[in-house]
Every structure is written in structure tokens, then in C-alpha cells.
Amino acid sequence: MHKPTEPPTTATPAGVSANDNASSLVRSYLGALARGDRTTAASYLSDGLPSETFINGNARIESIRASSEGPQRYHVTADVVTSGGEYYGTFTVQQGPAGLQIAAHYWIRPQ
């Protein structure tokens, strides 16, 4: 029987801010998608499956920024360049049963 992959725990090491943890979680999610590892990518989501078909091995993260929205809740934005163009993602990261998880996210592609 296959055991589902658990998302990594997100305890904050000394010298690392909670905003850094939220940014790292989104970076890990995008990295899993770029590697084609949708199972690991799904483990970072609190619900549902990844839908980003535009992210592949050619994707490059230009920037990721996080800000706190309250206790254990963060707003993270990502600028990703793919072979199909540039995309801007917005993520809500919050504490879940297994640590920080992506609770919601959406993408826009400027024209």
C-alpha cells in the first residue's frame, strides 16, 4: 500500500523568519512542479491537486515575496517565467495539520 507523502514540517530554525518558511514552501511547491513531481507538489496543498500545466523544467522563478497576514497565515507572491511566458502567482499559506500548507492560490498571465 502506498503511503501518501507528508509535507515537510516547518519549524522555524534560529535566524529564519516565518515569512522565509512561507516563501520556501512555495518555492518547494514550484520546484516539484518543475521536476514533474506532481505527487510531492500536491503534498504542499491543503486541498486539491496542482493545476499548473504551464510549469515545467524550463520554468524559472524570478522572485518570491511573503508577508504575514496574521498568526500562522501568509500572503506569498511569485513571479515565474516559463517557455510560454511570464506568470504571477498569489498564494495563501497557513498552518495546517502537518505544518504550513498552501490553502489557496491563483495565477495571472499579463498580456
Percent of the chain with pLDDT over 90: 77
Q: State the CB neighbour count (10 A cutoff) for residue 36.
A: 12
pLDDT in tens, 32-77: 999 999 999 999 999 999 999 999 999 999 999 999 999 999 999 9
Whether pTM exceeds 0.85 = no
Q: How confident is the model at residue 90 (pLDDT cuts 50, 70, 90)?
A: very high
Q: Identify the DSSP state of 83.
A: T
pLDDT in tens, 95-106: 998 899 999 999
Q: How far apart are the first and last CA of the chain?
A: 46
The x, y and z cell numbers of residue 2, run together, are: 502506498
Fold for domain 18-108? Nuclear Transport Factor 2; Chain: A, (3.10.450)
Scanning the structure block, which residue is given the C-alpha cell 512542479?
Answer: 33
Q: Where are the domains of the chain?
A: 18-108
The x, y and z cell numbers of residue 31, run together, are: 520546484
Task: Name the burial class of residue 58, with classes exposed (0-12), middle (13-18) and buried (19+) by CB atoms within 10 angstroms of its CB.
Answer: exposed
Q: How far apart are CA 79 and CA 62, in angstroms?
A: 5
